[in-house]
Amino acid sequence: MKRALTPGTFDPITSGHLDVITRASQMFDEVVVAVAESPKKKPLFSLEERVSLVEQATAHLSNVRAVPFCGLLVDFADQMEATVLVKGLRAITDFELEATVLVKGLRAITDFEYEFQMTALNYQLHPDLETIFIMSPPQYMYLSSSIVREISSLHGDIKQFVPECVRVALEKKFA
Ligand code: PNS
């Protein structure tokens, strides 16, 4: 059973994220979308809203689920392993969250420095946790949640950049 973790802030999930998650879902038995609290980024959407949007956007992918997390990503992976030992029915769910692979999307050059830094540090913090990168296709190379939020805040058309549920949620936020 190969299980992958796709971490991010997902504020909100974009079509680029969904592309990476979909590719990962074809490569792994199960994909856990790890939605970070990311308080420093002061997200537009609450953690619950971001998880809910990921759930709606990935509803058609039977081996994908969204889980919120706070604190260090490597601790989240470890925490999931620890709950296996001590919890009841809930632990059966948690057991399935045991993740040994991180899957990240890579867009253009701008991503490299940041992703290299996080990967290098995560390797030092947790040498057993592997990170692999999936390259974004051209149409998503320059897509980001922040750009989508900006276009939407200025009442631009974001239909081609986000899943339908996110378009509706963003239009509501900026109405
Ligand atoms: O979508 P983002 O905001 O680029 O995702 C970044 C994320 C959430 C994956 C990263 O900030 C993260 O792993 N946050 C959890 C805290 C952590 O582990 N920080 C140390 C990284 S070396």
Mean pLDDT, consecutive 10-residue stretches, the chain (175 aa), reads 84 93 87 92 98 98 94 78 23 43 69 79 84 81 91 96 98 95
Residues in Cβ contact with 53 at an 8 Å cutoff, skipping those fewer than 6 apart: 10, 12, 13, 45, 163, 165, 166, 169
For ligand 1, residues with CB inside 6 Å are: 7-9, 36, 38, 72-73, 118, 121-122
Question: For residue 114, what pLDDT is reported?
Answer: 80
Nearest atom in ligand 1 to the alpha carbon of residue 122 is 22
Question: For residue 168, what pLDDT is reported?
Answer: 98
Question: For residue 107, what pLDDT is reported?
Answer: 67
Say how many Å lie between the first and final Cα of the chain, rounded.
44
Q: How far is the CA of 107 from the centre of ligand 1 (A)?
A: 16
Angle of CA points 167, 19, 64, to nearest 5°? 90
78: tokens are: 């470890």
Of residues 112, 131, 97, the one with CA closest to residue 29: 97
Which residue CA neighbors atom 3 of ligand 1 most closely?
A: 9
Q: How far is the CA of 29 from the centre of ligand 1 (A)?
A: 24
CA 85 to chain centroid: 26
C-beta of residue 44 within 8 angstroms of C-beta of residue 77 = no
Q: Among 6, 9, 76, name the best residue to mutate to test ligand 1's pocket (greatest count of ligand atoms within 8 A of Cβ).
A: 9
Question: For residue 116, what pLDDT is reported?
Answer: 79
**Whole-structure pTM value:** 0.87
Which residue CA neighbors atom 8 of ligand 1 most closely?
A: 8
